[in-house]
Amino acid sequence: MRVKKGDLVEVTVGKDAAASEGHRARGRVLSIDDKSGRVTVEGIGRVHKHVRPSRKNPQGGRLHIERPIELSNVMPICPKCDRGVRVGVKVNEDGSRDRVCKKCGTSLGRYRRAQK
């Protein structure tokens, strides 16, 4: 898994990719669905959902929800390169694996196996 929950990622395709001048949209990964290979990213793919009044939401009205996007459409951001980067995997001496920026080698945290 190149991406983990809580990662700051860059969106590489779709209408969110060109959100602000010259910069790709960024957001934090809220959740990952390993089965469908989709991620939900804060502020990305946002849609309005109309809801009926309920006890939880007595006013009803519109809710913002984030629609999951394809995992392959996001890239983790390397803090050193300050951009979305390709991720490599480095095996540590104790057998654990780290994700590293393929450009500069900076560690991007532990590599996570997909839970299927």
- Interface residues toward Zn ion, by CB under 5 A: 78, 80-81, 101, 103-104, 106
Cα angle: 8, vertex 71, 89; to 5 degrees: 70
DSSP H/E element including 70: strand 69-70
Residue 7 C-beta: closest distance to Zn ion, Å: 14
Residue 84 token pair: 């979305």
- Which residue number, 75 or 78, has a Cβ lying nearer to Zn ion? 78
81, 101 contact by CB (below 8 A): yes
Neighbours of 37 (CB within 10 A): 13
- Which residue number, 63 or 81, has a Cβ lying nearer to Zn ion? 81
Residue 85 C-beta: closest distance to Zn ion, Å: 5
- Which residue number, 3 or 45, has a Cβ lying nearer to Zn ion? 3
Residue 103 C-beta: closest distance to Zn ion, Å: 4
